[in-house]
Amino acid sequence: MTERTAKSLDEMSMAELWSVAKLLGVSKDGKRDELVTRIKQAQDQGGSDGSTPTQPEQPKTTKPAVAKEVVYISRYYELRLVMSPSYLKEVGGKVLIIRGTYIQFHEGIYKTNKPDEIEYLDAHPNFGSVFRKVETADVRGGKSVDQIYQDKFKTLEEREKELATREAALRKKEVELNGSEEGASQPKAVTGVRSTAEQPKF
């Protein structure tokens, strides 16, 4: 940063000019002369004399209200979700790796107060099956992540038991309504006339 401010715009390389343009919010498209002209105009409007301004960055980083912290628990202790992937970019003949943004659960817990992360996690397809939102009081209440997880997520055996009890209750209701079970054979009503179709033929 100090090297950039010490150098004049004419002495800077294209990569340095691009970074200054990015800080100023100026388009970095076009030739070197056009870029230098746009940077000078932005600096004149910003009231700075060759140094990179810090005022445009402040509104982006300062937030008027502190968001409430949200806690997520995961089935996996070290779950990592990709918000935006890494990619390669060529700058000035060199290939750079532009790092993506990730959400990393540590020991099954992830805490955040960033609205974009909360929105991403709530809309994630694995929300509810792999990880879940919990109340902060649950985490502070002295319960371990395993205990909270067992409370929130039921195992397959517990689900099967619950399903079996529901089915039994439904069968019981049907028996009460119909008067007999589904699979039980109904006694045939005997009338005085015998059918010839029911008699065996020799």
Domain borders along the chain are: 2-61, 70-152
Average pLDDT over residues 38-53: 66
Q: For residue range 103-147, list pLDDT tens digits in order.
A: 999 888 888 989 999 999 999 998 888 888 887 655 555 666 666
What pTM was estimated for this model as a whole? 0.40
Q: Phi and psi for 196 in degrees, rounded to 5?
A: -80, -20
Structure-model confidence comparison of residues 189 and 89, the more confident one: 89
Q: Identify the band that residue 14 occupies on the pLDDT scale cut at 50, 70 and 90.
A: confident
Residue 155, CA distances (Å) to 5, 133, 146, 151 in order:
61, 18, 12, 10
**Of the candidates 166, 168, 146, the residue with the CA atom closest to the CA atom of residue 155:** 146
Residue 70 has what pLDDT? 86
Q: Identify the band that residue 57 occupies on the pLDDT scale cut at 50, 70 and 90.
A: very low
Q: Do residues 103 and 120 make contact, with C-beta atoms less than 8 angstroms apart?
A: yes
